[in-house]
Amino acid sequence: MTVEITEYAKRVQPDVLGCPRQLVLRAVVDALIDYCGRTHCMELVFEHEVVTADVQTADNDSVNVNIASYITDVRPRVVSEFRIDGQVWNLARIALENVMDDISEIAVEGTKYFTYPDTTHIKFYDLDAQDQTLWIKQVYVPEDTITTVDEQFFYEHHRAIEAGARARLMDMPGKDWTNLDRARKFEAEFNDGIALAIIRKNPVVGSRRPRSMRFC
């Protein structure tokens, strides 16, 4: 099930009386994008059956998958888990400036590579997977056009995201709803929510600090 983005705005609006609804929605989406980008907490899963049309022989037999066929209103950041017919494969992200003539230049035995040619496709290299099923879990950030979020995501993260929206609105100068002191309070609440989400995603082991996850 999903929750409308307007549900965030309904919770924020009473704290910024007089603020136009569209401005509240804009602040909510900005806070949501910022939150997801910093926490990597928005992960979505889909399966793709590889067919002949997906294989691009002119580009080192890469497998090109149209993400927009499965998931909309979001932009991919990284593949966090990948399987071929149920078998787990490690992935490494590569940045290609042009078509590589020889994929063996970057090939490492037992490792698959991927890149994002644009915001709606993902391309896999060194992948012999025609007629097989790809199971892909990716980290995303929302597009400006997002209208809904997963219900579980909403209830786990809405307080911090709403705090971020309030901070943005109250920090606007010269408005009826301007309140710089409360803006700082909500900004701190937003940042605390981000820190907690990161810790939950990367739990502290013993006395060690949370692991730093590098995706790019």
My answer on whether 131 and 146 are in the same domain is no
- Quick one: which H or E segment has residue 177? none
In whole angstroms, give the CA distance from residue 124 to residue 92.
10
In whole angstroms, give the CA distance from residue 121 to residue 175.
42
My answer on whether 36 and 53 are in the same domain is no
According to DSSP, the β-strands at 121-125 and 62-66 are: antiparallel
Boundary (domain end) residue, out of 96, 112, 141: 141
My answer on whether 75 and 125 are in the same domain is yes
pLDDT averaged over the chain?
88
**Res. 210 pLDDT band, cuts 50 70 90:** very low
> Is 41 within 8 Å of 201 (Cβ atoms)?
yes
Give the per-residue pLDDT at 110. Answer: 62
Give the per-residue pLDDT at 96. Answer: 67
My answer on whether 191 and 120 are in the same domain is no
Per-residue pLDDT tens digits for 147-168: 999 999 999 999 999 999 999 9
Give the per-residue pLDDT at 215. Answer: 39
Give the per-residue pLDDT at 189. Answer: 98
Inform me whether the pLDDT recorded for 212 exceeds 70: no
Across 23-32, 129-138, 176-185, least confident range: 129-138
Range of the domain at 77: 43-141
**DSSP state at residue 197:** H
Structurally, how many domains does the chain consist of?
2
Give the per-residue pLDDT at 103. Answer: 57
**Res. 208 pLDDT band, cuts 50 70 90:** very low
Terminal Cα-to-Cα distance of the chain (whole angstroms): 31
> Is 210 within 8 Å of 199 (Cβ atoms)?
yes
Residue among 37, 40, 30 nearest 200 (CA): 40
Inform me whether the pLDDT recorded for 76 exceeds 60: yes
In whole angstroms, give the CA distance from residue 105 to residue 98.
14
Per-residue pLDDT tens digits for 78-132: 999 999 999 999 888 887 655 555 555 555 556 788 999 898 999 998 888 889 9
Q: pTM of the prediction?
A: 0.81
Across 141-145, 162-166, 209-213, least confident range: 209-213
My answer on whether 52 and 83 are in the same domain is yes
| Mean of pLDDT values over 41-70 | 92
- 11: buried, middle or exposed (CB in 10 Å: 19+, 13-18, 0-12)? middle
